[in-house]
């Protein structure tokens, strides 16, 4: 019958509570019959007063009130209201280079500290789910795709040079790890943000870029560091880092390599974007594109049976007036 009337219930199992209505009817009817018998036996005719003829309806009124309350608890719904909803359906993976070259201090601070500040700006501006990958000569997934941007930002803060404990720099390792994260949710659009100084000592980036391009994943590349060259602080202290022959190691940023990755995948390229609005275009490409759709939301009608239950209880109370 409910379906014929177009009524659905948010919590249909609660309709079992309606079985309390016939139980209440039997209990109240038996109690009313017992009350009349006692009145006739123990109360004199002169003290009984005028009987209320509506009192006989009281068990039925209370039982119907219980039934209406059970229906209200089940959450009846009838009809729908259409609401426009904007959805941002973009998964984004941030890749941060944590190789030792990122410890070079040629951008007013270490390259890694600058990269972390940039990554947190990207996270703050992004409205969809976000993941985090770091790489040296290998890659680690620091955070899978999540809607908790604050947690990912906290993980970014904890990054240190040499995080992966695999000395070297393999951009392809980071790109492949990011692609695996995006492939875990193939129905959603996704993109990648690569933050690095561009050094790539392995040279496998072309293969990874081809996979991303075939998948339709854009890689926006952010270069951090200068082409003038800088020394790398020794993580164990004692001056700049030296190679096996005792020569001081110098690192140069390679923005051209990162720009090529962005061009080949349809992403954007940024060179040391430290200005306040330098990343606005990236924020728009990740979080600004929205999809509007209309969502039908069922309309709650619990007010009707709840109001009926209240009215029936009041009528039951009135029917109790003038009791013998």
- Residue 289 confidence class, pLDDT cut points 50, 70, 90: very low
Closest CA to 179 of 190, 163, 165, 167: 190
Strands ordered across the beta sheet of 291-300:
7-9, 76-87, 291-300
Judged on CB neighbours under 10 Å (0-12, 13-18, 19+), 157 is exposed
Asked whether residue 306 carries a pLDDT value surpassing 70, the answer given is yes
Instruction: Please tell me whether residues 171 and 48 are part of one structural domain.
Output: no
Is 147 inside any structural domain?
yes
Angle between helices 111-125 and 149-157 (to 10 degrees): 180
The mean pLDDT value for 114-124 works out to 94
- Residue 226 confidence class, pLDDT cut points 50, 70, 90: very high
Instruction: Please tell me whether residues 146 and 235 are part of one structural domain.
Output: yes
Give tens-digit pLDDT for 164-201: 988 889 999 999 999 999 998 887 889 999 999 999 98
What is the value of pTM for the model shown?
0.63
How far apart are alpha carbons 181 and 196 in whole angstroms? 19
How far apart are alpha carbons 73 and 301 in whole angstroms? 11
Instruction: Please tell me whether residues 60 and 149 are part of one structural domain.
Output: no
Is 324 inside any structural domain?
no
Is 1 inside any structural domain?
no
How far apart are alpha carbons 203 and 177 in whole angstroms? 16
Closest CA to 264 of 316, 211, 315: 211
Instruction: Indicate the number of domains in the chain.
Output: 2
Locate 203 and state its tokens: 């040279």
For residue 120, what is the domain's CATH number? 3.40.50.410
Model pLDDT, residue 59? 82
The position carrying tokens 């996270």 is 123
Instruction: Please tell me whether residues 274 and 157 are part of one structural domain.
Output: yes
How far apart are alpha carbons 242 and 234 in whole angstroms? 8
How far apart are alpha carbons 264 and 257 in whole angstroms? 11
Domain range enclosing 18: 7-80+299-319
């Amino acid at each position: 019958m409910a379906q014929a009337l177009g009524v659905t219930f948010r919590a249909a199992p609660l309709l079992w509570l309606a079985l309390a209505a016939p139980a209440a009817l039997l209990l109240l009817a038996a109690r009313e019959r017992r009350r009349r018998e006692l009145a006739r036996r123990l109360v004199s005719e002169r003290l009984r007063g005028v009987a209320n003829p509506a009192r006989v309806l009281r068990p039925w009124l209370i039982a119907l009130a219980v039934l209406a309350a059970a229906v209200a608890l089940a959450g009846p719904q009838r009809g729908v209201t259409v609401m426009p909803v904007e959805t941002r359906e973009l998964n984004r993976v941030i890749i941060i280079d944590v190789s030792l070259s990122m410890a070079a201090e040629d951008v007013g601070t270490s390259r890694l500290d600058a990269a972390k500040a940039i990554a947190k700006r990207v996270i703050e501006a992004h409205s969809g789910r976000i993941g985090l990958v770091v790489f040296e000569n290998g890659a680690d997934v620091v955070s899978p795709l999540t809607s908790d941007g604050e947690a990912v930002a906290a993980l970014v803060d904890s990054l240190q040079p040499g995080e992966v404990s695999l000395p070297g720099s393999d951009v392809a390792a980071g790109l492949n790890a990011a692609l695996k994260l995006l492939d875990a949710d193939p129905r959603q659009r996704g993109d990648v943000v690569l933050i690095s100084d561009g050094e790539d000592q392995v040279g496998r980036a072309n293969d990874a870029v081809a996979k991303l391009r075939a998948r339709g994943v854009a890689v926006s590349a952010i270069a951090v560091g200068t082409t003038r060259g800088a020394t790398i602080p020794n993580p164990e202290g004692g001056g700049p880092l030296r190679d096996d022959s005792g020569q001081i190691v110098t690192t140069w940023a390679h923005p051209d390599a990162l720009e090529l990755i962005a061009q080949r995948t349809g992403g954007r390229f940024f060179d040391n974007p430290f200005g306040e609005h330098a990343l606005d275009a990236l924020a728009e490409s990740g979080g600004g594109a929205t999809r509007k759709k209309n969502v039908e939301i069922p309309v709650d009608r619990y007010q009707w049976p709840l109001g009926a239950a209240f009215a029936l209880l009041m009528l039951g109370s009135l029917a109790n007036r003038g009791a013998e």
